[in-house]
Amino acid sequence: MVDDIQQALVQTCLFYWQENVKKTEYCFTLLSEQQVWQQYNTVSNSIGNLVLHLCGNISQYILATLGAQGFQRNRNAEFEQKPQLSKAALLKQLNAVLEAAVQIANNCSSDCLLKNYSVQIYEMSGIAILVHVTEHFSYHTGQIALLTKQMTGKDLGFYAFLT
């Protein structure tokens, strides 16, 4: 039963990660290169910066912490970078980070998920790390969707199939 619960937790997180990637990719189809890097004001993030931030967060929490891979994060740089990467490069980076994270999550043992880790300023279990990455990814995907709606004036239709 523990293995079933563990498998269900991991697969649920992976499902939402993939849903968030699909939503982000769809938003990118509606946006120009310039719009991806557009900021409404100095305290707002561009979609490009949000994607870089997601890559940094997933890399730190999943690849470096759960996967024990070397990674030096410069969190501030995720928000400082300006239009240097194309939409295609941003999505390629996000997909590469996610592909590695999916492999690590799929290979996490019960011990890995129950173990406590130090990450950023927190002490958290492997389970908490998976949940954090999922909610963090969803939070910023919502921001990407809102910014896309504001820039394009289009309904994204993520749930159109429900009507």
Please, where are the H alpha helices in 31-121?
Answer: 33-36, 47-58, 75-80, 87-106, 110-114
Residue 163's pLDDT is 66
Mean pLDDT computed over 33-56:
94
DSSP one-letter code for 45: P
Residue-wise pLDDT tens digits, 46-86:
999 999 999 999 999 999 999 998 877 777 777 776 778 99
User: In the prediction, which pLDDT does 160 show?
Assistant: 81
Give the integer Cα–Cα distance in Å for 128 and 113.
8
- Distance from C-alpha of 120 to C-alpha of 130, rounded to nearest angstrom: 15
Residue 69's pLDDT is: 87
pLDDT in tens, 110-155: 999 999 999 989 999 999 999 999 999 999 999 999 999 999 999 9
Backbone angles phi, psi at 153, to 5 degrees: 70, 20
Largest CA distance in the chain: 51
Q: Which pLDDT score is estimated for 74? A: 77
Task: Give the pLDDT confidence of 89-100 residue by residue, as tens digits.
Answer: 999 999 999 999
Is residue 1 predicted with pLDDT exceeding 80?
Answer: no
Task: Indicate whether 20 pLDDT > 80.
Answer: yes
